[in-house]
Structure 1
Amino acid sequence: QTLLRVGELEMDLIGRAVHRQGKEIDLQPREFQLLEFMMRHAGQSVTRTMLLEKVWEYHFDPQTNVIDVHISRLRSKIDKGFDRPMLQTVRGAGYRLDA
């Protein structure tokens, strides 16, 4: 599968391009990896531990805010200027990408 789609958000894995409502979204490599993981688990709560293991390949908690910083940057890129936010914080659980 080379094209991921969640609602109006589309990711081309080969071309390394992301679009929402036809607007291109420029992502850094780690943001792209993070969004790909979130899109593959769309509608599910994704824990910080899952993100650390699958996106950062850490098998321990480094006790930093690296996830918060990247989620914040990603949220500003994919949600800013659109009517409805897609990247949600699930209190006490992690994050969820909804269509």
Structure 2
Amino acid sequence: MEALLRRGTDPVLRVGDLALDPVGKKVWRGEREISLTAKEFRLLAYLMSHSGAVISRTRLLNNVWDLSFDPETKVVDVYIRYLRSKIESVDEKPLIKTVRGFGYVISA
């Protein structure tokens, strides 16, 4: 994200109707603004900056929680559930998908 900011391009990340502004620390799904904790925001930003790619739990732990090992914790799964509950209402298309045995991917 820092590289995008240095290049002067639009820093807003978009996946379908989900938008994340890393500078203003805001997230929207369509017209609805979504309130996230700092860790949820960091996790969503990481997933969105790698949209379409399957990201392993270990890679998320390394890049979002700054852990250099997998302590066999369920913290990633718990935070993914938090994000889903906030960005995916009943009438909206799911954006975060679980790839069994590999990790998570966000795509429209």
Query: TM-score, structure 2 length as denominator?
Result: 0.87
Q: 1:53 aligns with which of 53, 57, 62?
A: 62
Provide the residue aligned with 1:69 in structure 2.
Answer: 78
Q: Which runs of 5+ in 1 are unaligned?
A: none
Q: Which one has a bigger Cα radius of gyration? A: 2
Provide the residue aligned with 1:19 in structure 2.
Answer: 28
Offset, 1:83 = 2.6
Higher RCO (Cα < 8 Å, 6 or more apart): 1
* AA in 1 matched with 2:21: D
Determine helix, strand or coil for the equivalent of 2:40: helix
Provide the residue aligned with 1:85 in structure 2.
Answer: 94
* AA in 2 matched with 1:33: R
RMSD: 1.0
Query: TM-score, structure 1 length as denominator?
Result: 0.95
Q: Which runs of 5+ in 2 are unaligned?
A: 5-10
Identity %: 46
Offset, 1:40 = 0.5
Offset, 1:75 = 0.8
In 1, the alpha carbon distance for the partners of 2:30 and 2:73 equals: 34
In the TM superposition, what whole-angstrom CA distance separates every residue of 1:73-97 from its partner, at most 9, and x where no partner exists?
0111111234310010001110010
In 1, the alpha carbon distance for the partners of 2:13 and 2:107 equals: 13
Determine helix, strand or coil for the equivalent of 1:39: helix
